[in-house]
Structure formats: structure tokens, C-alpha cells
């Protein structure tokens, strides 16, 4: 009847967002009068379980068999499903990353249990779990409850704080065997291309985003580029030479509007909005973004929004805490210089 | 061979969606569009069925609302459309949804590949995708940015997946369920002929009894919908004589807000 929390790992270390899942799991465990159990699969799982002890986890179930070394949906879902069936936890919590989403949904299906996804707030009401989650691309919120013995919950990144580091608890660790047979797997990972500086907008505390206004770069495009090609060159140059330095000073990730992505100014991985990422940074700096409703759906949960736009009537200013009316190609470099001076 | 995709009608991307005084979700008079992520799965379904010289089918689970998305799919070039509906079934529950979806796939009986868009913007989740794969017992490959090779005779597929930590090339066995990302293709616009054909199409509706399944009990239920808290309307426009002065003032404010 414990609360399970899946600690997502990569390359033998816990993903730091996993501690947010643990924070959510612990508040749930407190409300239910139970404790938390860390589920750690893969390389160095014993060491990671010990780390979880620093955050107050009472026990851990680990599996570091060879076939569990790297995350795979089939192996991980089969074992998680078995453990849930065996221990009947009140809940299983993970962060709603690509892996967390598919793993919990699959194990929930195997166990015919309820899943509440992308939870941003959580409470216990008359013994039932009630999760608040976005719907309609975040334009409205909904409350959902589950009536099965175990409820699976994915929590949105940055929605729950990690628990405080307490006097180290030494969790009681149980080692288990995989639930699958390696030779019977349906998929095989042929190649892994780790991206340098991979875009992780969901985790970012600060995001600097560019929109269609990025094409108003005063820098002259190379001779021979005409019309839209020249705009693409200017916008790309602007992302690299104007926005990136500001992002570097702030330690920020680079985002973009759909208009900028669709125009070919920046790859899709950067898109914030209804068909991109939903982000909730502490600070969101929107540069040359008008603020279409579908963009707002992706960033309205940011703590502080700053808008820089030439058009004083742009809808983004209605959402912003601070606004500067002006050309981003004047304002952003000035902001970068002033920040450098202030932070040095 | 046979490629199937699922779609739904969702409020127009630009529509304001809110909860009215009766607690119902509304988007006023604005129409629906095909779920924006499904533009890519529909296109990929047409392409893959074309490559394999096979059939393509689009399915919607739910009410008549979704007929518009089905007609849009037909107009794009999907060969057949059908809808699964069951009075009283809680389609918000992903286990109920995936039981109906799995029933439809089993009834079709010759499906090699199911292609989903990344998620549905209305329910704002992708859980039904994984749960369908699970109830069919098929290979699941999510977040596909490219299909490298699909060999429907040999029953194998190789894809590129885009994840937080980079890209992965994965091979798997068919039949499979995959979800595709924006950027995998350039979705086509329906042409006049397609639109005319779609307008005339009769869309069959299958019930749980037609599928020969017993509907599972919903594991979850939606309690209520509500509007997100209004963002503080107070926007401070930073002014100053020079750009530098404006930049300095903004930085002062951001330090005071403790976000720097």
C-alpha cells in the first residue's frame, strides 16, 4: 500500500526531474498515511536507490540485470507491471517525460488500473486520489479521479518541488529479476545518437524564445538570397548571434513559436505551444512573438513572462508581466550586455 | 497490407476554449479541425499504404463530432473511414477507449501498422496510444521522427525516434503501433476531388456489440472542468530614454522577482 515512484535514469545516473516525482509521491504518501518505495531499474541502480534515501525514501526495489541496463519499454513495463500486481501500491508516480508517459500507460493497461496523466496538482479526497491536469492544450483544467486499487500518475515537469534533503535514510533495498526473456523481445535499439546540447525545454528554468520577428534582422543576407530565403538566413543568424548570447548569459534554453518553426527559421524541437512543448519556466522571454492563442497554450504557465515586440498591440503583452515595445534586434543585445555587466 | 490511423475532431487551434457557467467546455461558434498532431499521422498513413501497395483506414472513437475529422481524412486520401461509438461508454477513460480501438483493429483482422499523432490536444494525453499497443500485444514505437524502412513481407520496421536525450534508431517486429512527430512529413491539403468524394462518403458506425467485446469498467472519471486562474492582468511596460535604460530597468525588476 506504499506509493511507488519510478526513478528515471540515464547513463547510470538519476534524471534530476525524478526527484520531483518523489516530491509528489511523498506528499501523497503523507496524505494516505503510508511511505514511498523507489523503483530503480538499470545501471548503478543500487547507488541511485541510496541517493533516493537522502530524500527520505523508505525502501527501494531495484533490478540491474543486463537486459535492464538501458531503458526499454518492453522490459521495464513488464517488470513494473509485475511489481504493481504483487505489491498493490496505492499509486505509481513518474515524471511525464517521453519514457515516463509510455512506461506508466503500458503498465497501467497491463494492470487494468487508472492513469491520470500530466498532473499539476494532487490531493486525496475521501480516500480517493484527485489529480488536476490540463485539457484542450492547457486552455482549460480538469480534475480526474481513479477508482482502481492502484492509480498511475504522471506529473508534469516543474509542477512539484523535489523533497528537502533530510538526514540520510538508508532505504531497505530489494533486488528483483527481470520479467522478460531477452531473446523474446520485439524491438532492438540499433543506434543511439545523443544530441549535443539537446533541447530540453520541459526542464528549463529560463527560456528565451523567438518568433516571426526574428526575420527582421538588420544584418544583410548574402548576395543571391532573395525573399523568403533571405528571411530564413536572417532569422537563423538572429537565433545564433542575438538570442543565443542572451540565453548563454541566462543559462537558458532556446524556444520558438510555431510561425518561426513553420517558416524554417529553427528546428521543430524548439517549438513551444499547442503542437510543440508545454513549458513552465520561472522566466520566459518572448522576442518578436505576437502571442497567438496556440502559443499561449504552451507558455502561459510560466512564472514571469517578458515580452519584447515592435508592435505595442501584440496580444503577448496582455500575458506578460513586463513588456518592452521595441525592435528585438536593439533590445536583446542591450539586455545581454547589461546582464553580463550585472552578473560579472 | 493495411495501415490504420486514429483521429478526432478538436477545437480549431486558434479558438478560445473555456468552461461556461454550467461547467461545460465550450469553444463558442468556432468549428473543429482534425487534431493538429494527426495531420502528420494521416499523411504518413497515406504514404505507408502507398509504399506497401495496401489499404488505408481511419478510425474515430466517439461521437458524431468526429465525423468532420474523418471526412477531412478521406479528403486527404485515406481510403476508408469508420467510427466506433457506444452509448454510455466513458470515452474519457483511456482503458475504455483502447478496448474499443483494439476491438476495431481485431475486427479488421489484417492490420500491419497503426499510426497515431503524438497526442490529442483535447484530452491532452497520449496514453491511449500505448494502451492500445498493450491490449493488442503489439510492438510500440513512440515519438517517431522518420520511418527508415518498413518491410511488410518480412514483417519488420526500422524507425528513428526523437527523445529528450537525443535520437535513437530502433528496429521492431510488425504488427506495430507507432506515434509520429511533426516534421516527419509535409501533410498534403485535400484537393477538390477528395473533398467532393469525402462529402458523399457514408461512414459506418460500429458498436461494442459489433466488435464482439465486453466494455471494461472505466478506471477513471472526470470530476469537473474549470478555467485556469487568470494571469495577473498588470503588465508593466518598461520605458526609458535609451534602450540601455530600458534593459537596466527590466533587469532590476527581474532581480526583484527573484527569477535571476
pLDDT at B233: 63
Nearest-by-CA chain A residue for B216: A112
What is the CATH class of A3-184? alpha beta
Interface of B with A in 199-258 (CB under 8 A): 216, 219-228, 231-238, 243-244, 246-248, 250-251, 253-255, 257
pLDDT of residue A197: 55
- A133 interface with B at CB cutoff 8 Å: yes
> B246, A144: Cβ pair inside 8 Å?
no
Identify the three-state secondary structure at position B32.
strand
The CA distance from A245 to B204, in Å, is 57
Over the stretch A168-212, which tens digit does the pLDDT of each residue have? 788 999 999 999 887 778 888 888 877 655 667 888 999 999 999
CATH architecture of A201-343: 3-Layer(aba) Sandwich (3.40)
Q: What is the pLDDT of residues B217-243, one digit of tens each?
A: 999 999 999 999 877 668 999 999 999
How distant, in Å, are the alpha carbons of A305, A318, A322 from that of B233?
Answer: 12, 7, 11
Chain A residue closest to B182 (CA)? Answer: A268
Give ranges for CATH 3.40.50.620 in chain A: 3-184
Report chain A's C-alpha Rg in angstroms. Answer: 23
For chain B, list the domains and their CATH numbers: 2-211 (3.40.50.620)
Note whether B20 contacts A: Cβ–Cβ < 8 A. Answer: no
pLDDT tens per residue, range A226-244: 999 999 999 999 999 999 9
DSSP H or E segment with residue B6: strand B2-6
Closest CA to B218 of B100, B89, B123, B126: B89
User: Distance between CA B33 and CA B8 in Å, rounded?
Assistant: 8
pLDDT in tens, A295-333: 998 999 899 999 999 999 999 999 999 999 999 999 999
pLDDT per position as a tens digit, A48-103: 999 999 999 999 999 999 999 989 999 999 999 999 999 999 999 999 999 999 99
**8 A C-beta contact, residue A310 and residue A326:** yes
The answer to whether A220 touches A265, Cβ cutoff 8 Å, is: no
Q: Write out the residue limits of the CATH 3.40.50.1220 domain(s) in chain A.
A: 201-343
pLDDT tens across A91-149, in order? 999 999 999 999 999 999 999 999 999 999 999 998 899 999 999 988 899 999 999 99
* B167 vs A contacts (CB less than 8 Å): 192-193, 195
| Residue of B168, B45, B67 lying closest to B113 (CA atoms) | B45
ipTM: 0.96
Q: Which residues of B touch A102 (CB under 8 A)?
A: 126, 130, 140, 142
* Contact residues, chain A, for B228 at CB < 8 Å: 138-141, 300
Find the helix packing angle between B243-256 and A328-343, rounded to 10°.
50
Residue B189 pLDDT exceeds 60? yes
Amino acid at each position: 500500500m506504499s506509493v511507488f515512484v519510478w526513478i528515471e535514469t540515464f547513463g547510470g545516473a538519476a534524471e534530476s526531474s525524478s526527484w520531483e516525482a518523489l516530491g509528489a509521491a511523498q506528499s501523497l504518501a503523507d496524505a494516505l498515511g503510508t511511505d514511498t518505495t523507489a523503483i530503480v531499474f538499470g545501471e548503478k541502480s543500487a547507488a541511485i536507490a541510496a541517493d533516493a534515501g537522502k530524500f527520505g525514501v523508505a525502501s527501494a526495489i531495484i533490478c540491474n540485470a543486463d537486459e535492464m541496463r538501458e531503458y526499454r519499454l518492453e522490459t521495464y513495463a513488464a517488470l513494473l507491471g509485475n511489481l504493481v500486481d504483487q505489491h498493490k501500491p496505492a499509486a505509481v508516480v513518474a515524471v511525464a517525460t517521453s519514457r515516463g508517459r509510455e512506461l506508466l500507460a503500458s503498465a497501467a493497461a497491463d494492470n487494468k488500473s487508472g492513469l491520470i496523466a500530466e498532473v499539476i496538482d494532487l490531493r486525496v479526497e475521501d480516500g480517493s486520489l484527485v489529480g488536476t491536469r490540463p485539457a484542450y492544450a492547457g486552455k482549460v483544467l480538469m480534475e480526474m479521479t481513479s477508482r482502481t486499487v492502484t492509480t498511475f500518475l504522471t506529473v508534469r515537469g516543474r509542477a512539484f518541488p523535489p523533497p528537502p534533503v533530510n538526514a540520510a535514510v538508508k532505504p531497505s533495498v530489494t533486488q528483483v529479476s527481470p520479467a522478460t526473456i531477452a531473446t523474446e523481445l520485439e524491438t532492438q535499439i540499433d543506434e543511439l545518437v545523443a544530441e549535443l546540447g539537446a533541447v530540453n525545454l520541459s526542464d528549463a528554468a529560463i527560456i528565451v524564445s523567438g518568433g516571426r520577428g526574428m526575420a527582421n534582422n538588420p544584418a544583410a543576407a548574402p548576395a543571391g538570397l532573395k525573399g523568403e530565403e533571405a528571411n530564413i538566413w536572417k532569422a537563423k543568424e538572429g537565433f545564433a548571434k542575438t538570442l543565443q548570447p542572451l540565453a548563454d548569459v541566462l543559462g537558458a534554453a532556446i524556444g520558438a513559436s510555431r510561425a518561426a518553426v513553420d517558416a524554417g527559421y529553427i528546428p521543430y524541437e524548439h517549438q513551444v505551444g499547442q503542437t510543440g512543448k508545454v513549458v513552465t519556466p520561472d522566466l520566459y522571454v518572448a522576442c518578436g512573438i505576437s502571442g497567438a492563442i496556440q502559443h499561449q497554450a504552451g507558455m502561459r504557465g510560466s512564472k514571469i513572462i517578458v515580452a519584447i515586440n515592435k508592435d505595442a498591440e501584440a496580444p503577448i503583452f496582455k500575458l506578460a508581466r513586463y513588456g518592452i515595445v521595441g525592435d528585438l534586434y536593439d533590445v536583446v543585445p542591450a539586455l545581454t550586455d547589461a546582464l553580463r555587466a550585472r552578473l560579472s | 497490407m493495411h495501415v490504420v490511423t486514429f483521429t478526432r475532431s478538436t477545437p480549431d487551434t486558434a479558438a478560445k476554449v473555456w468552461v461556461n457557467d454550467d461547467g461545460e467546455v465550450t469553444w463558442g461558434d468556432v468549428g473543429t479541425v482534425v487534431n493538429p498532431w494527426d495531420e502528420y499521422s494521416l499523411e504518413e498513413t497515406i504514404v505507408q499504404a502507398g509504399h506497401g501497395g495496401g489499404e488505408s483506414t481511419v478510425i474515430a472513437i466517439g461521437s458524431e463530432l468526429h465525423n468532420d475529422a474523418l471526412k477531412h481524412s478521406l479528403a486527404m486520401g485515406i481510403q476508408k473511414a469508420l467510427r466506433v461509438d457506444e452509448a454510455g461508454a466513458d470515452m474519457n477513460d483511456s482503458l475504455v477507449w483502447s478496448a474499443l480501438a483494439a476491438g476495431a483493429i481485431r475486427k479488421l483482422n489484417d492490420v500491419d501498422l497503426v499510426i497515431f499523432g503524438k497526442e490529442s490536444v483535447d484530452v491532452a494525453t497520449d496514453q491511449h496510444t500505448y494502451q492500445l499497443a498493450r491490449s493488442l500485444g503489439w510492438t510500440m514505437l513512440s515519438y517517431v521522427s522518420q520511418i527508415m524502412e518498413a518491410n511488410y513481407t518480412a514483417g519488420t520496421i526500422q524507425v528513428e525516434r526523437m527523445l529528450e536525450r537525443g535520437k535513437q534508431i530502433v528496429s521492431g517486429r510488425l504488427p506495430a503501433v507507432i506515434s509520429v512527430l511533426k516534421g516527419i512529413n509535409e501533410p498534403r491539403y485535400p484537393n477538390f476531388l477528395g473533398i467532393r468524394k469525402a462529402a458523399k462518403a457514408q461512414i459506418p458506425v460500429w458498436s461494442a456489440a459489433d466488435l464482439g467485446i465486453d466494455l471494461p469498467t472505466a478506471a477513471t472519471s472526470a470530476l469537473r472542468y474549470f478555467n485556469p486562474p487568470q494571469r495577473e492582468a498588470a503588465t508593466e511596460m518598461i520605458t526609458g530614454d535609451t534602450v540601455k535604460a530600458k534593459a537596466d530597468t527590466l533587469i532590476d525588476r527581474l532581480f526583484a522577482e527573484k527569477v535571476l
